[in-house]
Chains A and B, each alone.
Chain A
Amino acid sequence: MSVDTKLNFDQETITQFSKQSGEPDWMLNLRLQGINQYQELPLPKLEKTKIDKWNIDTFIPFQAQPVVSSAAELSENVQELIAAKDGEVKAILVQKDASVIYTNVPEELTKQGVVFTSLQSALATHGDLIKQHFMQKESKVDSHKLAALHTAAWSGGAFLFVPKNVEVNIPLQVVFEASAEQTGLFPHVVIIAEANSKVCFIDSYVSAEGTAGIQNGIVEVQVESGAKVTFTSVRTLSEQITDYIYRHATVENDGRLEWVLGELSSGNTITQNTTHLLGNGSSVDSKLITVGSSIQKENVVSRVVHTGENSDSQVLMKGVVKDESTAILNGITFIEKGATKANGEQVENILMLSPQARGDANPILLIDEDDVKAGHAASAGQLNQMQLFYLMSRGISKTEAQRLIINGFVAPVVDAVELEGVAKLLERAIERKVYQ
């Protein structure tokens, strides 16, 4: 690797930020390891997508934003996102650029022993626990350039801890907003759901029109025995933001994880989602929708590793591509030796709306155990002419017929988003990307 001089920050910037934030030494050291190693580390290897010309390091980290005392001081679009329906109670955390600027956690959560706060501030209260989990799954500080940069420059973030046997019945909502010039939105999310707990985490990523920079985020989810976690994320960052997200989860005995992922950012995007089904009887259901528009390139991976016996995975990936965009959808089901009676099913569907758009659906099954069930289905095609004819033969205009078919195509994912504000954000993002 050639020496790169694009970085807008150095060890000193990092040390200063870490000290100011009152971080423990191990975190500072990890950050420094990240910045020191990032130059020589390779870029991550991605199937069918070259990212060597993508922006990975032109951004200004640690751009602080003032804390606000009431939701009314948040950006309008954020207010709309977090607005509660009548009688609805939820916990909210908002990060703008480098800072978590607003949190609202109902007392009932705290009484249950649930911790829901910025990762930054949790370092002071739950430092040891975080140390056990931070960058300890598949993304390590020295995994590749992006991971090293993330470790060096992360800020804000969210920490969610649900004690064993606790069921959280209100949604926990996080909003990440990019607004600064050359923004560096680098949140890190750690979720620990202890045995037999239950929780729903929902985040969304938004940015003001024209915001440029980088989003480089990592999510680590630990689902312990018998716990159930729903993780919903809707990303709608603007065209000039390069969006990198790595999500890793481990699921223990009889635990269950549900991913609902809306990848609607408009810039080049990498989204890698890995679920490791460690425990016997563990399961994952992963639903993902992405829409490519303009000239953006996307590399989307849903990967499940089966280690536990009787583990079950259901993966659905839906991609719509238009204009001159490219979307690579890779579904990977890996069943390890010993994962007897495991079942892995995956489906990838791509809908191509323009002749210049390119969509690639790659189902990959890697099976080292004999006693398993596994299946996959993949399709890539244009709007079905017979379906169009059928709808139009009932008087529906061509535009409306296309809309019905496209909405139907994305429905399995859209319908799975439970929080109204976030569902609207997703629907609008799809609408904007598909029809404008």
Chain B
Amino acid sequence: MSQSPHLQINGLRVSIEDKEILKGFSLEIKGGEVHAIMGPNGTGKSTLSSAIMGHPKYTVTSGSISLDGENVLDMPVDERARKGLFLAMQYPSEISGVTNADFLRSAINARLGEGNEISLMKFIRQLDKQMGTLEMDEAFSHRYLNEGFSGGEKKRNEILQMMMLKPRIAILDEIDSGLDIDALKIVAKGVNEMLSPDLGVLVITHYQRLLNYIKPDFVHVMMQGRIVKSGGSELAERLEAEGYDWVKEELGIVDETVGAEA
């Protein structure tokens, strides 16, 4: 796969328990691009990330998602990941009894496939390096996966996984929530180190703050389950300064949350 990554989402409609959350969402992300999706709470941002990754609770009722021309919706979750999709989750699971290091190695080996497993030495070298970048204590590799991690430690651990797994498309879902400014800078540093033509990034956030450290090429505003406005990084700055009311006014939206549309 030497071609540049290409994620294409068209007219995506997604429901959870018969309630439609995404109502015709479209977006195209190419390698080397950083897209940011902003929007108030309840507008479908996290549903989008879960649906792309294939969370079983969400049902795609129509529309399409393709990665490098392949239909993502036909793939089980693990295959999506092996094809290069990565979701840094807002609320990562805690898994007792499984060490961070064992988990990471299993994940890397799952991607490399049988017979191509990473050597232990190489794995440790890479892990040490990336943990260094993220200023994570070595002890984290021996701790059980996310168990007893603080909110900030969990977020760093998500980015560590991204750096170790080297995805083609990375979705960062509220990676900034619960982070103080120092931790935010470290997380952003990790993401920025990854940026290259071989990676497309989708940053989902409430706040413009994160975008000071991870510079987006495209900013999209999400309301009522779809993108209602797109622009460059200047759009994020205006949202930070003025809030969302002007967008609503401009588009005649009274309540931006899903299910409230007039």
Contact = CB atoms under 8 A, between A and B. Distances in A.
A387 B110 contact: no
B95 interface: yes
Nearest to B97: A408
Interface stretch (B17-25, B73-81, B179-187, B208-216): B73-81
Contact of A410 (B82, B86, B87, B97): B97
A310 B246 CA distance: 66
A327 B65 CA distance: 45
A412 B99 CA distance: 12
Interface residues of A, number: 24
Contact of A395 (B55, B82, B95): B82
A408 B78 contact: no
Given A389-B56, A395-B81, A395-B82, A384 B97 contact: no
B106 A408 contact: no
Contacts of B92: 390
B111 interface: yes
B98 A407 contact: yes
B103 interface: yes
B103 A395 contact: no
Residue with the highest number of chain A CB atoms closer than 10 Å, among B77, B89, B161, B165? B77
Given A404-B103, A407-B98, A396 B78 contact: yes
A260 to B, nearest CB: 16
Contact of B96 (A385, A393, A395, A409): A409
A391 interface: yes
A395 B87 contact: no
A275 B98 CA distance: 31
Interface in A392-417: 392-398, 400-401, 404-405, 407-412
A392 B76 contact: yes
B165 A394 contact: yes
Interface in B95-113: 95-98, 102-103, 106-107, 110-111
A395 B107 contact: yes
B78 A411 contact: no
Contacts of A411: 96-98
A408 B96 contact: yes
Contact of B95 (A398, A404, A410, A412): A404
A394 B81 CA distance: 6
A393 B103 CA distance: 12
A392 B95 contact: no
Nearest to A411: B97
Nearest to B107: A394
A397 B78 contact: yes
A395 B89 contact: no
A409 B97 contact: yes
Nearest to A396: B110
Given A392-B78, A407-B98, A384 B93 contact: yes
A400 B110 CA distance: 9
B5 to A, nearest CB: 16
A394 B144 CA distance: 16
Given A390-B93, A390-B95, A392-B77, A397 B110 contact: yes
Nearest to B106: A396
B175 interface: no
B191 interface: no
B204 interface: no
B97 A393 contact: no
A1 interface: no
Contacts of A396: 78, 81, 106-107, 110
Contacts of B165: 394-395
A393 B49 CA distance: 12
Interface string A104-144: 00000000000000000000000000000000000000000
A389 B56 CA distance: 8
Contacts of A394: 81, 86, 103, 107, 110, 161, 165
Nearest to A389: B55
Contacts of B106: 396, 400, 404
A387 B89 CA distance: 12
Contacts of A405: 95, 98
A3 interface: no
B81 A408 contact: no
A389 B103 CA distance: 14
A386 interface: yes
B199 interface: no
A389 B95 CA distance: 12
A392 B102 CA distance: 14
Contacts of A397: 78, 110
A384 to B, nearest CB: 7
B202 interface: no
Contacts of A401: 78
B53 interface: yes
A394 B102 CA distance: 13
A395 B87 CA distance: 11
Contacts of B107: 391, 394-396
Nearest to B92: A390
B97 A391 contact: no
B166 to A, nearest CB: 11
A408 B82 contact: no
A41 to B, nearest CB: 42
Interface in A366-391: 384-387, 389-391
A281 to B, nearest CB: 29
Nearest to A410: B97
A401 B78 CA distance: 10
A132 B236 CA distance: 82
Max chain B C-beta neighbours (<10 A), residue from A385, A400, A404, A411: A404
19 contacts: A385-B56, A389-B56, A389-B93, A390-B92, A390-B95, A393-B54, A393-B77, A393-B86, A393-B87, A394-B107, A395-B110, A396-B107, A397-B78, A400-B106, A408-B95, A408-B144, A410-B97, A411-B97, A411-B98
Given A393-B77, A404-B103, A408-B95, 19 more contacts: A385-B56, A389-B53, A390-B89, A391-B107, A392-B78, A393-B53, A393-B54, A393-B81, A393-B87, A394-B86, A394-B110, A395-B82, A396-B78, A396-B107, A396-B110, A407-B97, A408-B96, A408-B144, A411-B96
The 6 closest A-B pairs by CB, nearest first: A408-B97, A411-B97, A395-B81, A394-B107, A390-B93, A392-B77
